[in-house]
Every structure is written in structure tokens, then in C-alpha cells.
Copies of this chain bind each other. A is one copy, B any other.
Amino acid sequence: MEQVRALVFDVFGTVVDWREGVARDAAPFLERHGRADIDPRAFADAWRRRYQPAMEECRSGRRPFTRLDILHRENLEAVLRDHGLDPAAIAEAELDELNRAWHRLDPWPDTVAGLTRLKARYIIAPLSNGNVALLLNMAKRAGLPWDAILGAEVAQAYKPRPEAYLRTADILGLRPEQVALVAAHNGDLKAARGCGLRTCFVARPREHGPGQTTDLAPSEAWDVVATDFVDLAAKLRC
């Protein structure tokens, strides 16, 4: 980690708790539409299950790069239909408002304190599949002190495509080994390592709720393994 100048962060799950945030905003929506029987966390999980397949259309080249706000919105309409709700019968503004739940996710308790310490020594920026407006609105609301907003939209490629990591390093004016990815997901770190980036694993064992079975521990010897962002700052002597 001696050469590292910039830390770039996975966001959904690593920086913020998407499941509780989406569920919090889905609950009153479902209730308004007479569907208080649907568990808002299960609704969040169902919405999120459509995330990778939607991006895969872009990664594969079957569809041009399309920002996440648009994929999220298409996925929302599909998940509503799956639950017997007709999106065409719901006001556009209301769908848009719920879609923006992804802009209003709360950070994990250690996130802001850890980022603030890390920022004193490193360039810090998201390297997320979220689009710029989503990440910027999230940062503004949550007080995430990013130096820049990077990620899939700026790189025009979704992780784990190599271009997402390599173009981000290039835009920063750095070589891959001068950039470290911080993520709670072993797969993301593996792809970053494959591109020459350094890797920091931070466990987020409640990302998928109390029954989580994935990414509970590092799957490889990542350069740094930390329990949260404050521990990461301590391990990097920030």
C-alpha cells in the first residue's frame, strides 16, 4: 500500500446500507397502494436482484451504456408488476420519488468518521456503478466528504468490467498500483486486483440482513482487511 495515492470505494453495501434505506422508502409507498402485506425488505431485495442482470445487458454490449437511475427505474416497474402492481396506474412523480430512494441511502455508522480520516492522507472517491447524480445527491445528504465523484458513468463501463477500474485510475492521473479499491465484496476486489489495483476488504455482514451468507470473510489475501472504515483508517495510519 506504500505507493497508493487514491482510495476508491464501492458504495452500495460498502459505504451505505441500501437494504434498510430502500425498505424505509418503499414501506409508505406500498402502504399507500394498499399493499402493506408486502415486506418492504423483501421488496428491496427483489429490486436489488434485478440490478446485476440489468447491468449485464450493458456489459455484454447488447445495450449501450445506460446510467443506473434509468436501470433502477426499469427494474422498479418490473418488480412492481411482479408484485401485482401496475406502474402505469401510478403517478410518474411518485415512481420517480421512490426510484430516488437510492439517492437517499444512509451510511453505515463508521462511514463518515472513517472517510474523514482517510481523506487527510488519500484522494477518496466512489468507484460505484451508481451514476454521478445519484452519488452526488447521496453524498450531499449524508455528508460523505468525497474529493470527486467517479464510477461507472464517468468510465462508461460497469464493474466488474476492467475498463471501470482502469479508466478510473487513468482519469485520476495514476497508475493502477497507485489506486486501492475498498469494497465489502470479494468479487469486486478480485476484478480490481486483476487490473493491478490494490485491495482493501471491509466486512459488511448485515448488508443483506441478519441471514447473510456471502462476503462474510475475505476470500483471498487482500492487501488490507478491516472490520469497518475507522479500523481501515487506523490500519492505514490515518
Residues on B with C-beta less than 8 A from A150 are 132
Report copies per complex: 2
A172 and B132 contacting across the interface, CB-CB below 8 Å: yes
Assess whether A69 is in contact with B173, with CB atoms less than 8 Å apart: yes
User: Which residues of A114-167 have CB atoms within 8 Å of chain B's CB atoms?
Assistant: 123, 131-134, 136-137, 139-140, 146-150, 153-154
Is A133 in contact with B172, judged by CB distance below 8 angstroms? Answer: yes
A156 closest partner in B (C-beta): B156
- Expressed in whole angstroms, the minimum distance between the Cβ of A236 and any Cβ of chain B is 17
Q: Tell me if A171 counts as interface (CB < 8 A to partner B).
A: yes
Q: How far is the CB of A154 from chain B (nearest CB, A)?
A: 6
List the B residue with the shortest CB-CB distance to A174: B133
Most buried by B among A123, A131, A136, A174: A136
A47 CB to closest chain B CB (Å) equals: 19
- Give the Cβ gap from A209 to chain B, nearest Cβ, in Å: 29
Interface string of A28-41 (1 = CB under 8 A from B): 00000000000000
Given contacts A149-B149, A154-B154, contact A171 B132 (CB under 8 A): yes
Distance between Cα atoms of A147 and B131 in the complex (Å) = 14
Q: Give the shortest distance, in Å, between A59 (CB) and chain B (any CB).
A: 21
In whole angstroms, what is the CA distance A123 to B141 when docked? 11
- Taking the closest CB of chain B, its distance from the CB of A195, in whole angstroms, is 18
Q: How many whole Å from A96's CB to the nearest CB in chain B?
A: 10
Q: Kindly state the separation between the CA atoms of A171 and B149 in the bound complex, as whole angstroms.
A: 11
A112 to chain B, nearest CB (A): 15
| 14 additional contacts (CB under 8 A) given A132-B173, A140-B147, A147-B149 | A69-B173, A123-B136, A123-B140, A132-B148, A133-B172, A133-B173, A136-B148, A136-B172, A137-B173, A139-B147, A146-B148, A148-B148, A149-B149, A154-B154
